[in-house]
Amino acid sequence: MYPFDGQDKQLDQIESAMEKALVDTGFGEIVLSIPGIGIVTAASFFGEIGDPMRFDYPRQISRMAGYNLVEDSSGKNQSGTTISKRGRKNLRSVLYQMARTIIVVNDEMKELYVYLKTRPNNPLKKQQALVVIAKKVITVIYTLVKKKVGYQAELVLGEFRQNQIKQAA
């Protein structure tokens, strides 16, 4: 008998319960249509935010996660802006994991990530680019759920962002 045999069974039970809860929300099929988002991350996301229909804008979810920008200054020192982190730590963690997976699996998000890190004006560091991707994931999920449509790769990056990426290439 292996020491982790019972744990694997428990993990399978938890994952199947998460899948059932995700299906019960009615948003499971929509969110799972996004390449790079799985059952566990989608269920964790909805577990943290609750009903997404109660929000008027995706920025409200972003603020709930603590991804809103604040000025980082003290006295005469001004060192720019940072994320506030005045939000749900678990939600930020789930979004970070989603962003890391999505930039590997999802071609549009990978293209945006690479552009953000290599753009000529104000290139972002890896972590900063991941925060932007996480905020983009919030917007994509919110829009798909609100409109009750599946993922469409050609609509993820708007015309403006597509032009920016083409010009930088």
Beta 69-74 vs 77-83: how paired, if at all? antiparallel
Q: What is the pLDDT of residues 110-143, one digit of tens each?
A: 999 999 998 888 888 898 899 999 999 999 999 9
pLDDT tens for each residue of 141-155:
999 999 888 888 888
> Strand pairing partners for 82?
70
Q: Is the pLDDT of residue 5 over 70?
A: no
Per-residue pLDDT of 53-102, as tens digits, reads: 899 999 999 999 888 777 777 777 777 777 777 888 899 899 999 999 99
User: Residue 19 class from Cβ within 10 Å (0-12 exposed, 13-18 middle, 19+ buried)?
Assistant: middle
Give pLDDT, residue 151. 86
Residue 57: strand, helix, or coil: coil
